[in-house]
Amino acid sequence: LKDNPPHYKIRLFGTVKSPKIKFDPPFVILMPVPLDVETEAAVTIIPQDYLRQSRLQVTLPELELEDGNKICPLTVKFTEGQDIVLLSDGTNKELICHISFRSSTPLSFLRNIFFIDEEQN
């Protein structure tokens, strides 16, 4: 054995989990309101498999009006910040955001709001 040291073979198995976020509710329909009146909906953002802190950024849609002007009638506010935090039990803390709409021009539209983490996911 001194001339032939033993060789050990180790097999490792694992699963790669990509970070992702889910939304509750998965889509938002804001109520029709009179011009220049704000309407709002709360959305819970449920991060999953984030192993380190990350910060969410929001990209809101710009709308082109009939006269060619562009507006952004939506706003997003996070009530407790927009950092994705890993809790001691290995899960991620949920985030609450409020999506609001206000316009002085009559509008009806269907658009996506993009939530992007620091790694552009």
Question: Model pTM?
Answer: 0.80
Query: In the chain, what are the domains?
Result: 20-116 (2.60.40)
Q: What is the pLDDT of residues 33-89, one digit of tens each?
A: 999 999 999 999 999 999 888 999 999 999 998 899 999 999 999 999 999 999 999
C-alpha 58/C-alpha 37 separation (Å) is: 23
Q: What is the DSSP string of 26-48?
A: SS--PPP--TT--EEEEEEEEEE
Going by pLDDT thresholds of 50, 70 and 90, the confidence category of residue 32 is very high
What is the C-alpha separation between 75 and 95, in angstroms, rounded? 16
What pLDDT is recorded for position 24? 97
Q: What is the mean pLDDT of the chain?
A: 91
Please list, residue by residue across 73-88, b when 16 or more beta carbons sit within 10 angstroms of its beta carbon and e when fewer do.
Answer: bbebeeeeebebbbee
Helices then strands, each counted (H, E), the chain: 0, 10
